[in-house]
């Protein structure tokens, strides 16, 4: 193992800076095959690097994203011995039925479909033998070799590679503690308790330990193939919507998210709720949280991106830690506009997160960008979500769902942070009302669901405007209309025209009918 890894490092050091595309393609393939063959820890390292466009060349990232988290199953005898050691009895005594072969095997463990005495089917995940020892050994080798070779490797390092590996190791050891995973699953289930479109398997605590995890079995269809979904009479578009919106809720509302939502961890279930398909999440080993300040900044960044406010977007990157506060933003703002502005074009629907990630990776490699450790898993989650969606619908664009969601939350102003962000969006720095920004928000909501979505927005908007929480909005609106000691009747007239046009009786009536009869929508 050591010599194979050393030879890879030597080749990368010699050829890594080559300008020959064919050479880089060969290197990328060699990285992929080497990491795949070296086992669980190296596969996980490759997957982690695939979310770091600030560190790794773009032409290597493509290959790293193909790393598959699966290995051959380990011995049935060893699995049964581990279950007995962890749970106090052999599986034949603990379960009414226990199979002789796992239904799936991954890099960290394998899963069996078993049956309880009461007839319920469960998933039993058993950890690979000697896994903590193997991970410690491999991480020690990786860290030692990486620190020695870092000066010669074609990696864009602005800080210690050792610190990056230590952070990764901590995440990996959290992932192999199945009691922590059980806690994660129950926390996640609580967050979606009142969302019938999202199902979370329940944990069987009496049949779980640090190395064995038993949960209810999900009888669903993996979100991997559009034809499979349609064969089971499931609507791919409704499922995509649920996947993306539930991901946004995790990041922007709950602040706690599933960091590995690849198709193998997402299952389609029968039924729909308000046009959203039903789906289940499984495998809660890789979870993370995001603080309130970051959630608010991310929400604003989506709005700044759509409004093409690249100066504000650059400042968002500083706030989030992607750019040093002392960085000169003058050359970065036009670079952001070049990469992101052209991608958005005149239509939000043109935005493709994966394509932007590819182009942005070049920008991050050439400019003083760094992905903060806390955002590596967020990037992985978003890229995985969009990848799943585009596998089911190649024409899918993530902002077609993301921006209407953010717009509705802003216009509802249901939290103090959303009200603060709404004021920032619709009023300029001098306090004047930006009619075009408000119009943009309303147009996005209306386009997302004509009539159907306008009704709750009208209700929530009126509630906010006349509530105690809407006091700041009312004050800012009045100040805007009488700024500079004169009444700005043009702004008032434009606002009234916009509201009459958007919330016309016909459109609201269509919304009422759509809610009474969903088939008419």
Domain final position from 139, 154, 169: 154
Question: Mean pLDDT of all residues in the chain?
Answer: 81
φ/ψ of residue 207, rounded to 5: -120, 30
Domain that holds residue 493: 413-520
Task: Please name the residue that has the structure tokens 């003083």.
Answer: 368
Q: What mean pLDDT is predicted for residues 246-254?
A: 90
Residue 448 lies in a domain: yes
- Which residues, in sequence order, are CB contacts of 317 under 8 Å at separation 6+? 301, 323, 369
Q: Are 466 and 458 in contact (CB under 8 A)?
A: no
Name the burial class of residue 511, with classes exposed (0-12), middle (13-18) and buried (19+) by CB atoms within 10 angstroms of its CB. buried
Residue 101 domain-assigned (yes or no): no
Rounded CA separation 235/278 (Å):
10
pLDDT in tens, 335-374: 888 777 655 554 444 555 556 666 666 666 667 777 777 7
Q: Would 453 be classed as within a structural domain?
A: yes
Selecting among 19, 20, 69, 260, the annotated active-site residue is 260
pLDDT in tens, 2-47: 678 778 777 877 777 787 888 888 888 888 888 888 878 888 878 7
- The answer to the question of residue 9 being in a domain is yes
β-sheet bridge partners, residue 104: 111
Active site residue 235: no
Residue 388 pLDDT: 80
Rounded Cα distance, 41 and 36, in Å: 10
Given a contact cutoff of 8 angstroms between Cβ atoms, the answer to whether 58 and 156 are in contact is: no
Q: Under a CB-based contact definition with an 8 Å cutoff, are residues 268 and 221 in contact?
A: yes
Transcribe 74-91 into DSSP letters: PPHHHHHHHHHHHHSS-H
Domain count, the chain: 2
> Count H helices, E strands: the chain?
24, 10
Q: Is the pLDDT at 450 greater than 50, yes or no?
A: no
pLDDT digits (tens, 9 = 90+) for 274-327: 888 999 999 999 898 998 889 888 888 877 877 778 898 899 999 998 888 888
Q: What is the dihedral of CA 368, 168, 280, 291, to 10 degrees?
A: -60
Q: What is the pTM of this model?
A: 0.79
166 inside domain: no
Is the residue at 118 inside a domain?
A: no
Q: Buried (b) or exposed (e) across 42-55, using 16+ Cβ within 10 A?
A: bbbbbbbbbbbbbb
Is position 135 within any domain?
yes
Distance of alpha carbon 292 from the chain centroid: 16
Stated length of the chain: 521
Any domain includes 58: yes
Per-residue model confidence as pLDDT tens digits over 105-135: 888 899 999 999 999 999 999 999 999 999 9
pLDDT per position as a tens digit, 51-64? 666 667 777 877 77
């Amino acid at each position: 193992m050591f010599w194979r890894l050393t030879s890879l490092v030597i080749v990368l050091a010699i050829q890594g800076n080559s300008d020959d595309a064919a050479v880089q393609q060969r290197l990328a393939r060699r990285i992929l095959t080497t990491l795949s063959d070296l086992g669980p820890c190296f596969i996980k390292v490759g997957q982690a690097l695939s979310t770091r466009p600030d560190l790794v060349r773009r032409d290597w990232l493509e290959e790293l994203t193909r790393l598959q988290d699966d290995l051959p199953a380990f011995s049935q005898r060893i699995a049964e011995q581990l279950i007995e050691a962890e749970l106090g009895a052999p599986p034949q005594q603990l379960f009414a039925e226990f199979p002789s072969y796992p239904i799936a095997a991954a890099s960290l463990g394998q899963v069996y479909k078993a049956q309880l005495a009461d007839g319920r089917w469960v998933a039993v995940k058993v950890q690979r033998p000697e896994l903590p020892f193997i991970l410690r050994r491999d991480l020690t080798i990786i860290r030692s070799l990486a620190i020695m070779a870092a000066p010669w490797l074609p990696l864009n390092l602005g800080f210690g590679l050792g610190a990056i590996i230590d952070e990764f190791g901590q995440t990996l050891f959290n992932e192999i503690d199945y009691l922590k995973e059980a806690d994660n699953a129950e926390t996640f289930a609580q967050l979606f308790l009142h969302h019938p479109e999202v199902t979370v398997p329940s944990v069987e605590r009496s049949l779980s330990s640090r190395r064995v995890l038993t949960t209810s079995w999900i009888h669903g269809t993996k979100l991997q193939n559009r034809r499979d979904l349609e064969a089971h009479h499931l609507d791919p578009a409704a499922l995509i919507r649920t996947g993306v919106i539930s991901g946004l809720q995790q990041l922007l509302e709950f602040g706690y998210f599933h960091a590995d939502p690849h198709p193998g961890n997402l299952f389609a279930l029968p039924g729909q709720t308000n046009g959203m398909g039903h789906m289940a999440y499984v495998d809660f080993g890789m979870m993370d949280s995001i603080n309130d300040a970051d959630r608010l900044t991310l929400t604003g960044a989506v709005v700044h991106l759509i409004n093409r406010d690249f100066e504000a977007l650059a400042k968002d990157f500083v706030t989030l830690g992607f750019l040093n506060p002392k960085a000169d933003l003058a050359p970065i703002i036009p670079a952001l506009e070049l990469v992101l502005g052209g991608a958005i074009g005149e239509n939000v629907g043109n935005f493709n997160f994966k394509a932007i990630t590819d182009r942005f990776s070049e920008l991050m490699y050439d400019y003083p960008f760094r992905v903060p450790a806390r955002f590596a898993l967020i990037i992985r989650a978003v890229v995985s979500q969009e990848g799943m969606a585009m596998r089911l619908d190649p024409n899918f664009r993530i902002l077609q769902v993301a921006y209407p969601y953010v717009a509705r939350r802003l216009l509802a102003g249901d939290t103090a942070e959303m009200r603060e962000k709404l004021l920032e969006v619709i009023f300029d720095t001098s306090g004047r009302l930006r009619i075009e920004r408000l119009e943009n928000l309303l147009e996005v909501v209306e386009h997302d669901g004509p009539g159907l979505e306008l009704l709750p927005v009208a209700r929530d908007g009126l509630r906010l405007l006349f509530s105690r929480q809407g006091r700041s909005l009312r004050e800012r609106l009045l100040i805007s209309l009488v700024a500079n000691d004169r009444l700005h009747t043009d702004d008032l007239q434009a606002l009234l025209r916009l509201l009459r046009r958007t919330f016309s009786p016909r459109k609201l009536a269509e919304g009422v009918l759509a809610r009474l009869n969903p088939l008419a929508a």
